[in-house]
Structure 1
């Protein structure tokens, strides 16, 4: 499957809208699009899926490594892959858009804000291309997609200013209907605020799909022979329960694929009042438990989860899952709600983010996702802070990132583990979890 990367000149330049417009344009041209997102984000991919009709692949060198990144790419399906970048093209030391483009050997289409420029857009693109050459980066900036550009003289001025070896891939006209509201943790999710078909069609109208397909190319295949999820690991007879609702939204598609490849997976909704299903283990992904704290406090699932956890049921919670496993959750309006009370900590929401970084953890001893001394790479982004009991036990020392208290992460009790760190299945953490069920 051929592909290309939409890299921004900076954060906030409109990469997500550009990715959606390009996806729609390719669909209108009869192409099946596989969306992907550079970086560990959960929110932008929800908009990709809303438009493309298939889950967006997460591509992050830190979380997956180059080979894992390539394996994840090739698990996608479609005629062409549209990879939305993260931040500015070269920004980020753990896994920048440029690093993803290099690992996959994909060309970069530079998304530039043209709302107040013409020749300057061309100069910016030229600078981004020459920076790669001077810095010794193996990044091909193929040309420009002009964001927030009017037609007529405005678009023509941008096109004429570009040198012959930088392609003009079209423009996206300014349109207030293309604005996606945001909140803490980023944009609102795709299913909450989908863009209208009319707005998307209008945005796609001036995208040059033929030129995009001409520059798209196929990345190198992984050097390892095993490319299909789970074929290198034994399938088990175990059953894993995973909440999937408005409170527990943040789960990589590859994670569910890996879990389903190795075990039976049953989903349920604590927010809707579902009880915990019969299972051999529980995975609680991240999300927005703070927005549904009242419903969670009344849910029979948390009571059953507490009982089963005390009996030794393996439970893994990430970020929002960690919050639900703690004793209480206090929202920004000062309301406090009882949670599952499996882990000895109280959680409180803050007005600004408490951590945002790629993370590396080192296991102190054997735990649900690692053996002693193992290192796990992941990502953290949260607005809450946890106040653990003085005798709380931790599974990990933090080598990079913030964790729960700046030095440690992974509160553990019984066979329950809760971390602020989100990991990708390429880390091996979920295989380790399944192997212990």
Structure 2
């Protein structure tokens, strides 16, 4: 492989990593460089922005959820036929959970595993020379994670840029550019983070503005040179989620969007055929498929249309009488009896499971999860342990009478309790599966 790679990290969320990454991806793509993005951690939204910027599929790599051999396999696949890989860190560069070495979920794990340097994005608003102390901490905190260069973000003026930049350069960290404060470069957000790339009506124009800013503000040649050869040993798919059937009916529209790119990609690579259908268009899962998968998304924003989608609901019920149906998070909500939207209006869902959920009575659930399956389902067999995460504000307001699908623990292994439900061939849970333990 000839690809070079660089990790884009920062001290915290909100430093501007995503805007910088997306702008750089498009800027390098404009130069004729075949560039691809990778997002660390359990984030199914940012890979869509990476794909929008490069017109090439994005990817997630999560060192907690994915065993090192699976990380190598997926990274190697992303790097094939690429010139440059930009790996965007989630949260702060070293932010993860306590656990076995190299499996914290932090982007720094990938820096060590692949021997990659870091382009540090520092939001210097509200400070000047103090930014050098922050940069110095990053340079010396972990000698196995090398800082290659620094980008100053949200500087207020030329004087601000000089004070911060000169102080950082003096400690030996190259500054490859400064982005002045510009609120128009901020990406829109909603309750689960950024609005998805496919929902932004002028996304391509916005990405072009980000690329313009990176071209005007940053030394792209120096950033490319800071990247290092992405030499990856061959991995394996032993810990990947196997396809749940030969022909998989996958719900895909504005209500069902949260499926990690690697899952669909690996299903296809293992020989499965994926057949898309749209519940919002009142389409039922094709009868010639072996299994139906309802991923997460924003069903609470489309609850009225889903409630009125009689062909979808009737067809899904008929499908479930002979074949497995599985729902994750938003899909789990739609499998229940009722869904209460943000205004407290109750909408009738498919009723294939007996619980009801509410988005008006919100409670944030966020974190890594280990699920031990109590029932064979699309994500594994009885007794299997699957790693993944939860990220939702909806809550169960009526538990129903179904048996739980899994017993779940948090990322450290501390038990949380039963999760999800099953009835007949129908299973569902708020838990998003990423890989086998």
Task: Determine if the TM-score, normalized by the shorter chain, exceeds 0.5.
Answer: yes
Equivalent runs, 1:362-381 vs 2, <5 Å: 362-381=372-391
1:275 to 281, 284, 291: 284
Q: How many Å separate the matches in 2 of 1:78 and 1:30?
A: 11
Partners of 1:218 and 1:419 lie apart in 2 by 40
For residues 249-398 of structure 1, the aligned pairs below 5 Å read 249-261=257-269, 262-278=271-287, 279-299=289-309, 300-309=311-320, 311-350=321-360, 352-389=362-399, 391-398=401-408
Equivalent position of 1:432 in the other structure: none
Asked if the contact 2:362–2:395 (Cα under 8 Å) also holds between the matched residues in 1, the reply is no
Partner of 1:210: 221
Contact 2:23/2:207, CA 8 A, preserved across alignment = no
From the superposition, tell whether residues 123 and 352 of structure 1 become closer, same or farther in structure 2 (CA, over 3 Å).
Answer: farther
Match of 1:123 in 2: 133
2:154 to 148, 152, 162: 148
Note the alpha carbon deviations across 1:98-156, whole angstroms, 9 max, x for none: 123222221111111022333222221111221224xxxx2112221111125633333
Q: Does 2:52 match 1:50?
A: yes
* Paired residues of 1:46 and 1:190 also in contact (CA < 8 A): yes
Q: Which residue of 2 aligns with 1:14?
A: 16
Structure 2 contact 335–351 (Cα < 8 Å) conserved: yes
251-260 vs 327-336, which moves further: 251-260
Is the CA contact (8 Å cut-off) linking 1:29 and 1:209 kept in structure 2? no
- Equivalence for 2:124: 114
Q: Which residue of 2 aligns with 1:182?
A: 189
Contact 1:368 1:415 in 2 (8 A): no
Check 1:196–1:365 CA distance in 2 against 1; reply closer, same or farther (3 A cut). Answer: closer
Q: Quote the Cα distance in structure 2 between the aligned partners of 1:74 and 1:384.
A: 36
Is 1:420 matched with 2:427? no
Q: Residues 409 and 314 from structure 1, CA distance in 2 versus in 1: closer, same or farther, beyond 3 angstroms?
A: same
1:260-318 deviations in whole A, cap 9, x for unaligned?
23222111111122232222110111100111111111111122102221x13111211
The one-character-per-residue Cα deviations of 1:359-400 (angstroms, maximum 9, x if unpaired) are: 101123544422332211001100111245453201211122
Q: Secondary structure at the match of 2:69?
A: helix
Structure 2 contact 8–118 (Cα < 8 Å) conserved: yes
Aligned-residue offset at 1:169: 2.1
CA contact (8 A) 1:102 1:139 kept: yes
Distance 1:259 1:103 in 2: 25
What whole-Å deviation, never above 9, does each CA across 1:205-230 have from its counterpart, x for those lacking one? 22222222222123442454679x99
Contact 1:38/1:96 (CA < 8 Å) preserved in 2? Answer: yes
User: How many residue pairs align between the two structures?
Assistant: 416
Tell me: CA distance 1:30–1:351, structure 2 relative to 1, closer, same or farther (3 Å).
farther
Distance 1:251 1:121, change over 3 A: same
Match of 1:37 in 2: 39
Structure 1's unaligned 5+ residue stretches are: 429-437
Give the Cα–Cα distance (whole angstroms) in 2 for the partners of residues 211 and 200 of structure 1.
Answer: 16
TM-score normalised to structure 1 length: 0.88
Aligned residue number for residue 75 of structure 2: 73
Aligned to 1:171: 178
* Residues in 1 aligned to 2:293 and 2:374: alpha-carbon distance in whole angstroms: 21
SS of the aligned residue for 2:121 comes to strand
Residue correspondence of structure 1 range 74-93 to structure 2 within 5 A: 74-76=76-78, 77-93=81-97
Shift of 1:180: 1.4
SS in 2 for 1:221: coil
Is contact 1:361–1:375 with CA below 8 Å preserved after alignment?
yes
Contact 1:70 1:220 in 2 (8 A): no
RMSD of aligned Cα (Å): 2.5
